[in-house]
Amino acid sequence: MKYFLPGWRGLTQLFAFTILPLTLLLLLIAFGGVNMHQQDMRALVGERDERAVQSSAAALQSELHHRMATITSMAVLSSSDLTFDEILATTNDLAEDFDGGIAFIDSNGSLIANNDNDEFWRWVSQNRQSLSLASSSDLKPVFSSPISDPGSGRSLVIISVHVPARDVVVAGAFSPETLALETLSPTYPEGSHVTIFLLDGSRQPLYVSGMLAEDSLDPDHPGVAEALAGESGVLYVNKGNTEHVVAYSPIELTGWALVTEEEWEMVVSPSLQLTQMAPLVLVPAFVLALLALWFGARQIVQPLQKLESKAAALAWGDFEAIQESVGGISEVQHLQMELIEMSRKVQSAQEGLHDYIGAITSAQEEERMRLARELHDDTIQAVIALKQRVQLAQKTVKDPTSKQSLKELETLSEQTVENLRRLTRALRPIYLEDLGLVTALEMLAREISQGNNLIVNFSKTGQERRLSHDAELSLYRIAQEALNNVVKHSNADKAELMIAFSSSTIQMEISDNGKGFVASKSPTEFAPNGHFGLLGIHERADLIGAKLEIESALGRGTKIKVRL
């Protein structure tokens, strides 16, 4: 087991840093290639359909031109001396394109002659006023809207030309469905996947064929409006789980629209679709890589991350955090056991150091009190006596220059007494002993504001209560050191000193609007970074069992929180 686990760890690293990235890269290339291929095939089908529909529309327009030319030729013949029956007899070969027949109708609506479909032409002559037949005198053919043949029920379109010389209309009827079937079958043979829609200007279907012919044609079908507006192009439309290619083109001569639709994936051959699925063979390798990565993350990475957070807590003095097991492979657990043993030794050493620092701090406070007493009882009294002797000397001296010198000496004595008293209060906060922590902090904020270019605002919340002498003294010294740091280093013009009392905790905050600094992540970094004042604050907070938090960033000021 001792030699197996390192190999297993190396295998996990191999999966995590080599096989997994390569597998992901291969999958990305493979599926990216398939996607690009599909997009190219999609575009290729769209281009093919667009060219096909444009070609078919041009073929339909050519056939319509041919029928226009036939009717125009018969109109020219009608201007001659030939009878209408003779004209019909001599143009039998031209009339083959008009499966609905050809007829001559006079201006009164009477049927003069026709070659076929008597019932239809009698109906046309009777309803001539409601039909779009030619009436101008420039021999320009006119296309009618689709008309239903009363006899056969077929939809027919009439091309007509007015012959002013004989005041008659030459008209030929043809089936647009037959025209589309004959013209479009070479481009779209029977059995193709393409559905064809031929519509007139009112969006009524003239011809529908293909796989989707059984579906009802929506007047707002994609491509119809564009084709009727004279545009030609291709659209891609999602229908269900498939994407259809819709190609459209106008037939400008009649104002019709030709629209085709097909599912572009139906064009792709089955063998090509099979090759597109080939990259899926990489999926098992990808799954194995994910499983290996999951195992590595679950058994190595996550335990190490937990161990890292517990080690960080240990650096801040939380010796209990490292005791909780983080799990993982045996190496991680062994590392945690080593850290637990190390923390035990550090805790033992720190307890001894803690007692030593406590003794030093107590000795320091005692020395401060001794110095404060000596300054108050000896030095200040001596300076006061000196000041009184100077005042007596001023009364006996007559020389103005000497009197001025003695006056300056008296002023200097007064300043010295005041400075000594301030120093004495700093060494021994008498307000703290007599009036409690809140009053002492309030006086500290006032003295800092008066002696420096800094406004210190003091606030208190909650019900004040007295603490032990050591706790009050430590909190006072922390506030004193923090405000002195603000004065010396922060370049701030405003600071806040706040203390809050609750039923179970006391929290003190000192904040400023100064330049801030990069806060150390661990107390062990205070001394190397030159933050000896913060180190002292941390030690004093630790002595009374308080939690210390330091928040600071460049340009955003500093905030120190002490929670007891």
Q: Which domains does the chain have, with CATH numbers?
A: 47-269 (3.30.450), 432-564 (3.30.565.10)
What is the three-class DSSP state of 398? coil
Confidence grade of residue 128 (pLDDT, cut at 50, 70, 90): confident
The CA distance from 38 to 31, in Å, is 10
Is residue 494 pLDDT above 80, yes or no? yes
- Of 450 and 261, the one with more pLDDT: 261
Q: How high is the pLDDT of residue 231? A: 92
Average pLDDT for 190-218: 78
Is residue 4 pLDDT above 60, yes or no? no
Contact 160/71 with Cβ under 8 angstroms?
A: yes
State the burial class of residue 452 (Cβ atoms within 10 Å of its Cβ: 0-12, 13-18, 19+): middle
Element (H, E) at 149: none
Two tokens, residue 381: 């009294």
> Which residue type sits at 6?
P
Q: How high is the pLDDT of residue 3? A: 36
Q: How high is the pLDDT of residue 353? A: 62
Contact 204/218 with Cβ under 8 angstroms?
A: no
Two tokens, residue 33: 């290639």
What is the three-class DSSP state of 24? helix
The single residue listed with the structure tokens 């008597």 is 118
Is residue 325 pLDDT above 90, yes or no? no
Question: Which range (35-39, 102-106, 126-130, 214-218) has the least confidence?
Answer: 214-218
Residue 349 has, within 13 A of its CA and on its CB side, a CA count of 6
What is the three-class DSSP state of 44? helix
What is the three-class DSSP state of 177? helix
Is residue 356 pLDDT above 70, yes or no? no
The single residue listed with the structure tokens 């545009």 is 231
Average pLDDT for 290-319: 74
The CA distance from 353 to 535, in Å, is 14
Q: What percent of the chain has pLDDT over 70?
A: 79
The single residue listed with the structure tokens 């096909």 is 52
Question: Which range (7-21, 333-347, 475-489) has the least confidence?
Answer: 7-21
Confidence grade of residue 471 (pLDDT, cut at 50, 70, 90): confident
Confidence grade of residue 138 (pLDDT, cut at 50, 70, 90): low
Average pLDDT for 136-147: 79
Is residue 182 pLDDT above 70, yes or no? yes
Is residue 290 pLDDT above 90, yes or no? no
Is residue 2 pLDDT above 50, yes or no? no
The whole-model pTM stands at 0.47
> Among the ranges 100-104, 105-109, 337-341, which has the highest mean pLDDT value?
100-104
Confidence grade of residue 62 (pLDDT, cut at 50, 70, 90): very high
The CA distance from 260 to 269, in Å, is 21
Is residue 151 pLDDT above 90, yes or no? no
Average pLDDT for 393-398: 79
The number of beta carbons lying within 10 Å of the beta carbon of residue 187 is 16
- What's CA 516's distance to the chain center, in Å? 33
The CA distance from 175 to 146, in Å, is 9
Residue 415 has, within 13 A of its CA and on its CB side, a CA count of 6
pLDDT averaged over every residue in the chain: 79
The CA distance from 469 to 26, in Å, is 71
> Among the ranges 13-22, 147-156, 286-295, 494-503, which has the highest mean pLDDT value?
494-503
The CA distance from 185 to 183, in Å, is 6
Two tokens, residue 444: 């500290």
Is residue 410 pLDDT above 50, yes or no? yes
The CA distance from 441 to 447, in Å, is 10
Is residue 269 pLDDT above 60, yes or no? no
Element (H, E) at 131: none
Confidence grade of residue 145 (pLDDT, cut at 50, 70, 90): confident
Question: Which range (66-75, 181-190, 373-382, 490-499) has the least confidence?
Answer: 373-382
